[in-house]
Amino acid sequence: MSTEGPLRPLARNPRGFADKRGRDLSAERRIVRQVSEVYERWGFEPLETPAFEYADALGKFLPDADRPNEGVFALQDDAGSDEPGDWMALRYDHTAPLARFAAQSWETLPKPFRRYAYGPVWRNEKPGPGRFREFWQCDADTVGSDRPEADAEIIAMACQGLQAAGLAPGQAQIRVSNRKLFDGLFDAGGVTEAGQRLTALRAIDKFDRLGWDGVVQLLGEGRLDESGDYTRGANLPATVKGAVEAFLASANTPGLTRAQTLDAVARSGDLGAAGEAALNELAAIDRALNAMSVDPAAVTFDPTIVRGLEYYTGAVFEAELLLETADDKGRPVRFGSIGGGGRYDDLVARFTGQSVPATGFSFGVSRLASALRAAGRGDADAVRGPVVVIVFSEDDMAHYLSAVAELRAAGIAAELYLGRAGMKAQMKYADRRGAPAAVILGGDEIAAGQVTIKDLDAGRAAAAGIADNEAWKAERPGQVVLPRAELVSAIRRIIE
């Protein structure tokens, strides 16, 4: 193979795709592991669907995907032949593949079917700083239960999952509402057209960001934003805009309990039959959360919660980090949403024509990892390096290799330096690897049946000035010479 000339490829990641290692990767894997343990304890089974789905099975439910056929990575399946075939696309979430799987396997599944899933999803969007086109999501869903207790279970489990991942009680909150409240409002106001209702819902979904002044423009003719982009509005009648305003403002009092919020919302105006049903479902969710002893402050009802996705049909949830973090200029910012979900009773029916009720929750794994770093919990994922055995002479390889094998057999992470650099560079290497200790078996040590151990943890502590007194130094000498037989026990003393 040619290794010269101008035809060498450039070593770079595709735009919007990142490599992960070290503390960040360790954090994401720990989150997935700990959340999975919670989900399994709640009776949810793991399911892994493939990266690709046929494009028609995937559907087009990405929010704000203005361009038709865009937003996903798609290609035509030639199935190893020269004939282009059906379009396939990489999954953009875990919900659409679940709906396909449930429709395909419905007859043979235990019902209701509870499953969790994690793994990468792909979105073909314009990449930018902090904006990736591949990221991990972790989902849990119950398919085949129309009971509000199924929603309550998802909400309570999401709370427990976030805590298992490292968020303290009080650092996150799940805000809950119900899409049917808006169905009732629109029914009562005579707004029947599905597209108009969806445009209105997406406008209301921006309440957090735009406030009522922005939302009311989007509920009316439209809105010109600061960058000069114009977004067409839902053109709701003035009476309906008024009803929406009263509805959104109804529970705008800090500290309301869930029951108080339901009372306030019920008094806000005519919510129609759908709205009444929604209030009953929310009341049942409230009772179920109490029966499961979920911290009352961890889940609130909030009529401003909508969720942008088209397919939600009932309860909707959004998990928000309450912690205030600082931006680049030190100003406090709210971290915002770290996940969400809701009830989607029509997604399986896309395939089968038969309605199958379903509800679920999804969170972004990288986003939760960032939230945990913002919450000051990043240290939990610091990566500890292996013990490094130093190499001096080719002739003594067997001594080094048996030492390193002995450490591993004792369950201690250890490696032999296998480059060609000298002692000084090897010590620097050990330090960069975060090694707790370096093991030195020079010719003298080997001849005397001894080993020298450098305590690099102690060295780092001394350098950081946290161990600047004599007693500590006496207890943790930087370097000791010991009989070779004491290697494992001496390393254990440093590590434990």
Query: Per CB under 8 A, which of residues 15..44 are in contact with its own copies?
Result: 15-22, 25-26, 29, 40-43
> What residues from 472 to 491 belong to the interface with its own copies (CB under 8 A)?
none
Question: Nearest-5° angle of CA 142, CA 144, CA 148?
Answer: 70
- Cβ 420 to its own copies shortest distance, Å: 8
Stretch that binds its own copies, among 11-19, 253-261, 264-272, 361-369 (CB under 8 A): 11-19
Site size toward its own copies (CB under 8 A) is 117
Of 35, 92, 95, 112, the residue at the interface with its own copies (CB under 8 A) is 112
Looking at beta carbons only, is 119 or 222 nearer to its own copies? 119
The pairing of strands 52-54 and 87-90 is: antiparallel
Q: Does 192 bind its own copies (CB under 8 A)?
A: no
Q: 322 or 405: whose CB is closer to its own copies? A: 405
Determine if 202 is a binding residue for its own copies (CB under 8 A). no
Binding window for its own copies (CB under 8 A); candidates: 126-134, 208-216, 260-268, 271-279: 126-134
Question: In the window 340-399, what residues touch its own copies (CB under 8 A)?
Answer: 346, 349-353, 355, 383, 385-386, 388, 397-399
Structure tokens given for 80: 């190893």
Contact 333, 327 (CB under 8 A): yes
Token pair recorded at residue 120: 């990468």
The backbone torsions φ and ψ at residue 308, rounded to the nearest 5 degrees and listed phi first, read -75, -20
363/287 Cα distance (integer angstroms):
25
> With CB under 8 A as the contact rule, which of the stretches 14-22, 324-332, 365-373, 442-450 interacts with its own copies?
14-22
Cα separations in angstroms, 124 against 50, 72, 128, 130: 18, 5, 12, 15
Binding status of residue 212 toward its own copies by CB under 8 A = no
Tokens of 250: 């109804």
Work out which of 27, 31, 35, 47 binds its own copies, going by CB under 8 A: 47
**C-alpha separations of 169 from 30, 41, 188, 296 in Å:** 19, 20, 39, 11
Q: Is 457 in the site for its own copies (CB under 8 A)?
A: no
Asked whether the beta carbons of 116 and 154 are under 8 A apart, the reply is: no
Kindly write out the interface string for residues 332-351 of this chain, putting x where it contacts its own copies by CB under 8 A and - elsewhere. --------------x--xxx
Report if residue 95 touches its own copies, rule: CB under 8 A: no
With binding defined as CB under 8 A, does residue 423 bind its own copies? no
Residues 223 and 217: beta-carbon distance below 8 Å: yes
| One of 224, 380, 413, 485 touching its own copies (CB under 8 A) | 413
Closest CA to 50 of 11, 84, 100, 7: 100
x/- track of binding to its own copies for residues 431-450 (CB under 8 A): -xx-----------------
Q: Which of 31, 92, 141, 142 binds its own copies (CB under 8 A)?
A: 142
- Alpha-carbon span 41 to 289, nearest angstrom: 17
Structure tokens given for 122: 């792909």
Binding of its own copies at residue 73 (CB under 8 A)? yes
For 52, 76, 86, 399, the CA distances from 82, given in Å and listed in that order, are: 20, 11, 13, 58
Within 310-329, the residues that bind its own copies by CB under 8 A are 310-311
Angle at alpha carbon of residue 284, lines to 194 and 240, rounded to 5°: 30
Candidates 180-188, 249-257, 281-289, 479-487 — which segment interacts with its own copies by CB under 8 A?
Answer: 281-289
Nearer to its own copies, 205 or 320 (CB): 205
Q: How far apart are the first and last CA of the chain?
A: 49
Contact status: 68 vs its own copies (CB under 8 A): no
